[in-house]
Structure 1
Amino acid sequence: MAQWDKLRQLPIAYRQQLHELYDRDALPMDVRHYLAPWIEKQEWQRAARDHAFAMVLFQVLLENLDIQHSRFVQEESFLLQHNIRRYKQNFQRYVDDPCALATTILWFLEKEKEILESAELAEKVGFRTSLMCL
């Protein structure tokens, strides 16, 4: 199962951590949600070090946002159209430093992994505790 899908199925306390994580403009939760499969398949570590590769991912990210925008136009989702257009404009700040965008996305993915690991550990501890009580 994809990382984003796992995160969305966590108990409320861990989803709250996810909301707090995405309470920033660096990577809007909408973008993370709508582009989740694509984001998780990319080599962000490589892009953080390789300007040319980061530029390719940056351009593809913008293209994917255009695709989402077109989808929302067809669905007549006015608010989502507006948000996606605004996010795309905000990402333009990375045009001269796409490695910074790659580093930012990598940071978010790592923080998500920490939330997942914390939830998995709590589940294991709870399971072991329940076995000990038997």
Structure 2
Amino acid sequence: MAQWEKLRQLDNLYLKQVDEMYDKDAFPMDVRHYLASWIEGQDWERAGREHDFAMVLFQSLLENLDIQHSRFVQEGESFLLQHNIRRFKQNFQQYQENPYTLANIILWFLRKEKSILQNAELAEQVRTS
């Protein structure tokens, strides 16, 4: 099961941690949610070190946001969702010159998510033993 799906199934205590982590605008939870499997399939660690690879992932992220926006339009999803995806794409433009910065931000979020999952799994093991 994908990391994002596992996170969404956690108890409220851990969901609150996820919610607090995504409370800032550094990396919107909406983007994480709608592009979850694509995000988890990328090598963000490498992108955080290699400018050219980071640029490829950056461009791909923007393309994926465009695709998601088009889906919202075709499916008649709310104007708010459409607006937010466009706004997130515009906000990500600030990383055009330094795409590895965005890669490192995404990597940080993925690692924090993994830590929350590990803590939840450990607590579950302790509870059942």
Aligned mates of 2:24, 2:92 — CA distance in 1: 13
Q: Which runs of 5+ in 1 are unaligned?
A: 129-134
Amino acid at match of 2:59: Q
Pairs aligned (count): 128
Q: Counterpart of 2:17?
A: 17
TM-score of the pair, normalised by structure 1: 0.94
Q: Counterpart of 1:126?
A: 127
Offset at 1:75?
A: 2.0
Give CA deviations for 1:60-109 in whole Å, capped at 9, x if unaligned.
00000000111111122211000000000000000000000000000000
TM-score of the pair, normalised by structure 2: 0.98
Identity percentage of aligned residues: 71
Q: How does 1:85-100 map to 2 (within 5 A)?
A: 85-100=86-101
Q: Which runs of 5+ in 2 are unaligned?
A: none
Offset at 1:7?
A: 0.2
Aligned mates of 1:11, 1:94 — CA distance in 2: 34
Q: Which of the pair has more CA radius of gyration?
A: 1
Q: How does 1:1-134 map to 2 (within 5 A)?
A: 1-76=1-76, 77-128=78-129
Runs of 4+ in 1 over 6 A off after TM superposition: none
Give CA deviations for 1:27-53 in whole Å, capped at 9, x if unaligned.
100000000000000000000000000
- Could you say what the CA RMSD is over the residues aligned between the two structures, in angstroms? 0.5
